[in-house]
Amino acid sequence: MVVVAVNVGEFSWKNANLNKGIISAALHGVKYLVLPLVLIMFASTALSNFDAPRAIETMLLEIQTLVLIFGAVLLVLGFFKGAYPKGSYSRLSFGMTVAVLAIFYAFSLLLDGRLEKEFADTLFELDLDLLFALYFIGAAFNILVQFGEFIDHRRTWMEGTEHAAPREKEDPNEHRWIHDFRIRYGSLINGLKLSKRTLVGFVIIPLVFVIILKAAFSSLDFEQLDQLTSSLDQVSTFMLVLGLPLTALAFFKGFYPRGSVSRFIPAVTMVLISLYWIWVLGLEGEMVLDVMDSITFSLDYSALLFLIMCGTAIWIVYYALELWLHRPEWKEGGFQKDIGKKKERRKRRKDKIDEAEGIETATSVVENDL
């Protein structure tokens, strides 16, 4: 009964921050309301210039109505999500509601398949259900992020409300490098966020691009495009084969804090796989396309691709420096999670400033006495 009372009490407005709620509401409003309305406005303007069918204009009005309804609701929910502190059940509840409602929001824009049918009649056949499935995979990470944020910040928030004692710092002299892989050093929210960004950047966005390209090419009656379409299928396979391991490694890279060996190893492995990903995506620096029976188009850009790979390889040096520079600070802070390092860093900086001001004041007093 006590636990239930505490959980209900976390929804009290005394735990909320009005300014943070307003900022969060503004961000949610821009993402779910303003930007979609701007895109609809541009689409309506463009279609009016091409004398689009009446059915498309009607669907745009339906989509606009859905955007206004869902966008307004998500804006309000975003306010309460931002107002309540991280680690509280109140923020978790509103964050989960926003994440789930955003998925229903995107699904409603498909208009029960009518948008895909009209798109096929007007331009070319495009599998919008497949595109939504890719979106759903990325959006599902937002649900996991809410849990990760709650778990990571729960103890910190409880300490702030005096419901839990601060965790004791670990003795640096008893720590060995193999201990860097302990789960208690990790941050779920950092790992999930980086894993999501990697999945979106290395898998979802490239696959969306390939799906749209293949759909556009299918509407053209050129046999010469079959070779390019086959190449796109191979690239899609490699994106999945390489992108999924990158997504898994990204979780551990973000999970463990800067200055730890447990972060350095997956980070360097990601760079090595990314080099091969660039090489495959770049078609090994050469594109050959049979335009006609007697004409072949060839483009060699291997030098440019090699330059891009060299620039990417520099990240290995960066992560080595990150391990070297951040490890002493991580040890000094008692091997805390990344979510607590900023707070500890601000505290140490404040202590140094106070110490410097104290020395300056003491010096001034001595000079005045002299």
Residues in contact with 69: Cβ distance below 8 Å, sequence separation at least 6, in sequence order: none
pLDDT for position 175: 79
pLDDT for position 206: 87
Residue 67: both structure tokens together: 């955007």
Same domain, 17 and 66: yes
- Percent of the chain at pLDDT > 90 equals 41
Same domain, 357 and 261: no
Domain encompassing residue 354: 340-370
Buried b (16+ CB within 10 A) or exposed e, 26-57: eebbeebbeebeeeeeebeeeeeeeebeeebe
pLDDT for position 72: 95
| Statement: residue 115 has pLDDT above 90 | no
Most distant CA pair in the chain, distance: 98
Same domain, 148 and 231: no
| 171 part of a folded domain | no
CA distance 4 to 16: 19
| 177 part of a folded domain | no
| 327 part of a folded domain | yes
Interval 47-59: pLDDT, tens: 776 666 677 778 8
| 174 part of a folded domain | no
Same domain, 157 and 8: yes
Residue 273 in contact with residue 266, Cβ under 8 Å? no
What's the number of domains the chain is made of?
3
Same domain, 80 and 218: no
| 178 part of a folded domain | no
Same domain, 7 and 146: yes
| 211 part of a folded domain | yes
Residues in contact with 175: Cβ distance below 8 Å, sequence separation at least 6, in sequence order: 331, 335
Boundary (domain end) residue, out of 166, 194, 219:
166
pLDDT for position 4: 41
pLDDT for position 340: 54
Interval 309-345: pLDDT, tens: 899 999 999 999 999 999 888 888 777 777 655 555 5
Using N-to-C axis directions, what is the helix angle for 35-49 and 54-83, rounded to 10°? 170
Same domain, 146 and 6: yes
Same domain, 191 and 89: no
| 210 part of a folded domain | yes
| 55 part of a folded domain | yes
Residue 257 in contact with residue 291, Cβ under 8 Å? no
Same domain, 328 and 356: no
Type of residue numbered 202: F
Same domain, 153 and 100: yes
**CA nearest neighbour of 149 among 102, 188, 177:** 188
Interval 247-279: pLDDT, tens: 999 999 999 999 899 999 999 999 999 998 888
Same domain, 135 and 153: yes
> Which H, E and C letters describe 320-369, residue by residue?
HHHHHHHHHHHHHCCCCCHHHHHHHHHHHHHHHHHHHHHHHHHHHHHHHH
Boundary (domain end) residue, out of 166, 198, 229:
166
pLDDT for position 214: 81
Average pLDDT over residues 346-356: 54
Average pLDDT over residues 180-194: 90
Instruction: Give the pLDDT band (50/70/90) at residue 2.
Output: very low
Interval 142-173: pLDDT, tens: 999 999 999 988 877 776 555 555 566 677 77
pLDDT for position 158: 76
Interval 266-314: pLDDT, tens: 999 999 999 988 887 776 766 665 555 555 666 667 788 888 889 999 9
Angle at 232 between CA 280 and CA 133, to 5 degrees: 105
CA distance 326 to 346: 15
CA distance 228 to 216: 12
Same domain, 84 and 42: yes
| Statement: residue 111 has pLDDT above 80 | yes
pLDDT for position 190: 93
Q: Could you tell me how far CA 99 lies from the centroid of its own chain?
A: 13
